[in-house]
Structure 1
Amino acid sequence: MPSASKIHRKLLVDRSDSDTSLCSQSIYQQSSHSVQSLELKSLSEGRSLNEEEVILEKNNIEAKQALDNICKKIKAKPRLYIEISNNCYFFFNLIENNTNISIVNILLCLKKIRLKTTFSELSDQFGISASYAGKIFRKCIPMISDVLETLIVKPDKIKIKRSLPIAFRHHYNKVNCIIDRFEIEIEKPSKSVNQALTWSEYKKGNTIKYLISSTPNG
């Protein structure tokens, strides 16, 4: 008959073996569950990445189509969109060469000036965000102005008199230039001094004033 100590030792060994097997089984189940969850997570992430790539590609295609459409419209009717005739398209190359501004950005700026197009509309037409359209406009306008102002030449009195229109020659043969005032509405300035300086009774709002001078023959 086995002693009590031997029986106790055997029970401990059997219990230890069963605990080990249960523990290993539990660890295996946990690891298998974690592997499955990782696989599912990677699959879902892969799908979401693919979906994002498809959406981005679709947005890029739509943006390119919008840009092509507006460029074709401007080229077909430049007078309507940017107030420039077809025979003056060389100005774009002149501006581009002197400023490194792309022709697309030049068109965006000129269209904004000509038609007072909102940046939200420009974003749809040129396939960019409204904030980026605003950045382009604010950055490019001073550079375009620097190039175009060199084209403004005041002729001398002899040349003006030679080119004086017939309607001026009898009664207004001493006219050298015709002046006009031009106003553009702006947002109300925050400072009261600037509000007073920019106020226009004619427009009933805050404006920037321009003085325009032109020769009699235009």
Structure 2
Amino acid sequence: MKLSENSNLGIRIGFLFVLTVAISPVAHGSVATYDINAVIYEPAAAYNTFFNGSFDWDGATVSNLHGTMNSSMYDTNDINPDYYNSFPLMQLNYQLGQSIDGNLVTASVFLENSTDVFQGGGYKTGDGIYYGYQDGFTRNWNAYFSFTFDMSSMQGIVDNLVYADCTKGGMMGPLCMTGHNLPERGTMGASPLSLNITEVAAVPVPTAVWLFGSVLMGLIGINRKRVVTV
């Protein structure tokens, strides 16, 4: 019994794949994805303020931060909001701020493609809580959410939560709804309640598994090409 040259070539290729599996490490990505869920207590509003979203972290930079936030004075209705009793969730998709202080990383995401939230520009807690007035001043209808975590443990710092809602659902006359920690707290006494950051479990296909499948298919091909000579 004799195998054809094609069969011998296939066997050599198969062994090459097996050797590759044996010596190649499993590839691991350097970027991890995290879910983030935050609650700010609103003692004078109908509901607490919730932010639910996700972000990517590569050990140095936050990216792809986005999520939804509700207007705490109204019901949430994403399908048929009447804009009197109910408002849709705000889609915060513009990550426009990040800073690092030691192990503490702070990132901010905005409703509009602008960091101008309060009157005079800016978005830090100390920038104020006013934006425009009822007598014709222009408003930007922006909103933002800011959080901080410790990069060494990926634990969120609850006390550093900050938000502002200067959309139609967040305006009380000339005031925006805001929430942050002492000493001032938010517009209506709002303050951070909870912050959970959870890594999203990746389901990668290991390199070795992919290569094993390739080897198996190669061996099947070898079997089909086998030639018997009498």
What TM-score does the superposition give when structure 1 sets the normalisation length?
0.26
Q: Which has the higher helix share?
A: 1
Q: Which has the higher strand share?
A: 2
Higher relative contact order (CA 8 A, sep 6+): 2
